Amino acid sequence: MIVVDPRKDYYRILGVSEDADAAKIKKAYRDLAKKYHPDRRGGDQHAELKFKEISEAYSILNNPQKRKEYDMMRKNPFSRGGNFDGQNFGPGSFRFESGGGFEGFSDIFENLFSGGAGKRGSFFNRGDDFQDVFTQRKTRPSRGRDIESNVTIGFELAAKGGETFLVTRDGKKVKLKVPAGTENGKRIKMSGYGQKSPAGGMSGDLIVTIHVAAHPEFERKGNDIYSIAEINMAQAVLGCEIYVNTVHGKKVKLKIPPGTSSGKTFRLAGMGINSQSGKGAHNVKIRITVPQNLSTGQKKKFKDWAMDTGLIK
């Protein structure tokens, strides 16, 4: 959790005006995040600190409620009531001394530090002294920041499930378990693999967004798989048996009845994606290929056959 620090000018950090709308704030953050992202700066410590700073600023200004509270604290003259003292305090720390007149800010700080409405009393209790409360909060080890990452996996791995490996910034290999039926855009949480806590607390989580690579033969819709099988005109007219590739890595025999038309779809039950939501089917669409470069004699025979069957006159 990021603590609001009114001493920091989050607007200046993102390079936006105080009346900037959400779209401008988001654009400014994206531009700066691309510029200072640690993965692009090759371990540049300054870039990493800058990235953390702009991420902190965005987390406050992008949240309407946090932004409102931040603006209120910036405009309030702290020196008139409780004494705001920045000495011997790290970023994001507050110090209050009694005699303050902070009654009007109790709801704001309750919302900031207890998680918002509906949780009142979980952190602030009647009779608590503000200084004691904030001192306790400061000494509690903070949790490390969550890290988000993207990974592209193969179509078959997403369909069947399995394992792959990620390499962290320090070169450590981490095993990622991919559930069967994983869809494009799925987010997987790896607990404890995020940023380490700077104060000895719990590490953050690694949030991995899965991108499934396209397949040259298969297309997926829900748990169903779609593919195309080509047969020639003779096979379509007379009927035949063909073998179809599946996402499970084995070929399945498919019987094509005589007189099959192009566009006809055959359903192979249970041969699609097997996920927690059920088993899908493999749908095979037939495409009839037309012979090319026939000789004069072959064309005559084909024409005679077509006339005999009434296909042409």
- SS3 sequence, 225-271? EEEEEEEEHHHHHHCEEEEEECCCCCEEEEEECCCCCCCCEEEECCC
- How confident is the model over 217-233, as a mean pLDDT? 95
**Is it true that domain 219-309 has CATH number 2.60.260.20?**
yes
Same fold, 10-139 and 219-309: no
The pLDDT value recorded for residue 269 is 95
User: What are the structural domain ranges in the chain?
Assistant: 10-139, 147-212, 219-309
- How confident is the model over 46-71, as a mean pLDDT? 86
Q: Which of 82-91, 181-190, 290-299 has the lowest mean pLDDT?
A: 82-91
The pLDDT value recorded for residue 123 is 39
- How confident is the model over 47-72, as a mean pLDDT? 86
- How confident is the model over 170-188, as a mean pLDDT? 89
pTM above 0.75, yes or no: no
Task: Categorize the per-residue pLDDT at 187 as very low, low, confident or very high, splitting at 50, 70 and 90.
Answer: very high
* pLDDT higher than 50, residue 309: yes
Q: Which pLDDT tens digit goes with each residue over 262-279?
A: 999 999 999 999 888 889
Question: Of residues 122 and 71, which shows the higher confidence score?
Answer: 71
Question: Of residues 76 and 177, which shows the higher confidence score?
Answer: 177
Fold of 147-212: HSP40/DNAj peptide-binding domain (2.60.260)
What are the strands, taking DSSP E only, across 1-91?
none
Strands 265-268 and 274-275, bridge-based pairing: unpaired
* pLDDT higher than 90, residue 75: no
Task: Categorize the per-residue pLDDT at 47 as very low, low, confident or very high, splitting at 50, 70 and 90.
Answer: confident
- How confident is the model over 131-150, as a mean pLDDT? 68
The pLDDT value recorded for residue 188 is 94
* pLDDT higher than 60, residue 97: no
- How confident is the model over 145-159, as a mean pLDDT? 90
The pLDDT value recorded for residue 76 is 67
| Contact between residue 282 and residue 225 where contact means Cβ atoms under 8 Å apart | yes
User: How many alpha carbons lie under 13 Å from residue 164 in its C-beta half-sphere?
Assistant: 19
Q: Which of 96-105, 113-122, 253-262 has the lowest mean pLDDT?
A: 96-105
What is the Cα–Cα distance from 194 to 188, expressed in whole angstroms?
A: 13
* pLDDT higher than 80, residue 258: yes
* pLDDT higher than 70, residue 302: yes
The pLDDT value recorded for residue 140 is 67
The pLDDT value recorded for residue 238 is 94
Question: Of residues 266 and 204, which shows the higher confidence score?
Answer: 266
The pLDDT value recorded for residue 105 is 38
CATH for the stretch 10-139: 1.10.287.110
- How confident is the model over 91-99, as a mean pLDDT? 36
- Residue 52 DSSP one-character state: H
- How confident is the model over 31-38, as a mean pLDDT? 81
- Angle at 187 (CA atoms; ends 28, 202), nearest 5 degrees: 85
The pLDDT value recorded for residue 196 is 87
* pLDDT higher than 90, residue 49: no
Q: What's the Cα-to-Cα distance from 279 to each of 61, 182, 188, 222, 244, rounded to whole Å?
A: 45, 13, 22, 10, 18
- Angle at 129 (CA atoms; ends 2, 92), nearest 5 degrees: 20
Q: Which of 12-26, 32-46, 165-179, 258-272 has the lowest mean pLDDT?
A: 32-46
* Tally of residues, the chain: 313
